[in-house]
Every structure is written in structure tokens, then in C-alpha cells.
Amino acid sequence: MTRLVQARALTKRYGSTTALDAVDLDLDVGVTGLLGPNGAGKTTLIRMLTTAIPPTSGRITVLGRDATAGPVERAEVRRVLGYLPQELQFPRGMTCFAFVDYIAVLKEWTATAARHAEVRRVLDLVGLSDRTTRRIRTLSGGQRRRLALAQSLLGDPRLLVLDEPTTGLDPEQRASLRAVLSECGRTGAVVLATHQTEDVAALCDRVIVVAAGRIHFDGKVRDFVGTAAGRVWLAGAELPGAQASWRTADGKVRSIGGQPTEEAVAAEPSVEDAYLLMLGPTAQSRMEMAA
């Protein structure tokens, strides 16, 4: 069976630094979470998946098209993908409608009526149907993030790659986004690169953990969480040797790893617990930065 996306021996070097090291990856229908600390290679991987940068070596195919070939093949790949980068620069003098319409033109939507209908559809999906004539410079940070998401949804892409899509969104907006992305995952491959482990737990059926340019875990979210079973504890104080610990709202100290004492009670592990245990102090540092 042909995969929606296949990457083989994908490698990216910047001088003497190897950002991604011979990664193999297959993507099919569904939502995949991509976790990893800063400098792990996540952004390099998604930029190559979206044809933004070429690999040093290796090959990527999207729906059978070679994304690492010449400009004609890359253009064909770009027609079937949507991409939300972590940072997107807006022409701030434009309205919301004009901006998404401009992106649609770049994607070669030449029929005006159909293009405008699609622009209205994606703006409605992200809850901006009442902001179509608003100038981008007047939008809040969360609204600009939703506008950035809208352009990535044009044409129901078969490959949708999102880098930190929930940044700046409030809980209601985040829940709405999850509903949109879960629907996208019914017909295409959605890749969600994030530091928000709760988004992975709530939305993804698969998780990939990247560190030091290599994949450390690739599988079902429940199996990933299972790697932390019997290694998360609640007690009156931090356990000896705990990798991370904090006092919870009920006064108990939650310890990740460590040597359990007699009073320690095993706790239900989470995606965050499994992530901290797998990647150690590097992961803990990144969680504190994201908090």
C-alpha cells in the first residue's frame, strides 16, 4: 500500500552539525504528534516535509510525488499540503479575507468564485467569519494565530503540517482547533509539532519523539504513556532520585521516576510524564520554558 508520506534516510547537515540523522518515517491518515526539545530536529524535519528546505541526503515522497526532486515535482507536492510555521509574517495592511485570498492565489486557485468560497470556508472553520474585513494589524495574537491556521487549511490538504498551532490560543479556541484537526485527520495526514503535551493526549493517535536528530519513539500515544507505568508516584515529599517533582493542588508531591518510599502511591501516568522520563533533564528544562 502506498503511504501518503514516505521519508527514507532523511539527513540534514549544517556544516559539521547534523540536525537530522538518517530518519525513516511513514505517514498515513490520522493525527501524529511530534515532540522533542529545542534543537532536537523537529523544525528541520517539518521544513523538509513541506519542501521549505532540501535534505542533505535521503528522499521524501508525498502521494507518490518526489518532494526532493526538481521544482516541478516540488510544486505538485505543495499543491496537496498545508503548512503552518511557528512564526508567520503578515502583510499587516491586508484584511483577513485579502490575506487568505492572496495565499489561495499563490496556490493557483484561478477561479475567482470558487476561490472566494474556499476562503470564506476556512475563515469560518477557525472562527473568523465575523472578522473578514478587519485589518490584520487590529487582530489579537490569538486571532492572528487562527488566521495563520486558516491559510493552511485551504483546499483540504492531504498533508497538513502545523508547528506549535495552539500558541496564543485560549482554552475555548484550543478546543475548537482540536475539533477542526481531528476532522482533517479523517482524510489526510496531520502532523502536529508541539510542546503542549496535553494537545497530544487529547488529539493524537500517534506520537513521534525526536531528540538529537533521531527518532526515539514512534507509536500509539497509549503505548508511549505506558512507558511511564509504575514510574510516577504521589507522596508527601519528593522521592529520592526523582527526575522531576512538584507539589499538586491537593498537597501531594508528584514525582517522576525515583525510588518509591513506603508512603508513595503509584499515579496514573500522562504524556508529559512519559516525555520527561524518556528525555530527562532536557525535557524538564523545555517544559519549564513553555509554562
Residues 51 and 67 sit within 8 Å (Cβ to Cβ)? yes
Nearest to 162 by CA among 194, 203, 185: 194
Give the pLDDT of residue 283. Answer: 52
User: Is the pLDDT reported for residue 30 higher than 50?
Assistant: yes
pLDDT band at 18 (very low <50, low <70, confident <90, very high): very high
Give the pLDDT of residue 285. Answer: 47
Residues 199 and 167 sit within 8 Å (Cβ to Cβ)? no
Residue 136: DSSP 8-state: G
Q: pTM for the full model?
A: 0.88
- State the CB neighbour count (10 A cutoff) for residue 112: 10
Which cell numbers hold the place of 248? 499538586
User: Is the pLDDT reported for residue 92 higher than 80?
Assistant: no
Give the pLDDT of residue 2. Answer: 59
How far apart, in whole angstroms, are the C-alpha atoms of residue 287 and residue 275? 10
Q: What is the mean pLDDT of residues 230-240?
A: 95
Give the pLDDT of residue 170. Answer: 85
Domain map of the chain by residue range?
Answer: 1-80+158-221, 88-156, 225-290
Which cell numbers hold the place of 223? 503505548
Give the pLDDT of residue 69. Answer: 84
Mean pLDDT of the chain: 90
How far apart, in whole angstroms, are the C-alpha atoms of residue 263 and residue 98? 61
Give the pLDDT of residue 281. Answer: 60
pLDDT tens column, 103-147? 999 988 999 999 999 999 999 999 999 999 999 999 988 899 899
pLDDT tens column, 45-91? 999 999 999 999 999 999 888 988 888 888 888 888 999 998 888 88
Higher pLDDT, 282 or 135: 135
Phi, psi of 76, deg, nearest 5: -65, -40
Nearest to 34 by CA among 186, 175, 221: 221
CATH number for the region 1-80+158-221 comes to 3.40.50.300
- State the CB neighbour count (10 A cutoff) for residue 143: 20
pLDDT tens column, 240-266? 999 999 999 999 999 999 999 999 999
Residues 25 and 5 sit within 8 Å (Cβ to Cβ)? yes
How far apart, in whole angstroms, are the C-alpha atoms of residue 106 and residue 238? 55
How far apart, in whole angstroms, are the C-alpha atoms of residue 227 and residue 217? 10
Give the pLDDT of residue 217. Answer: 96
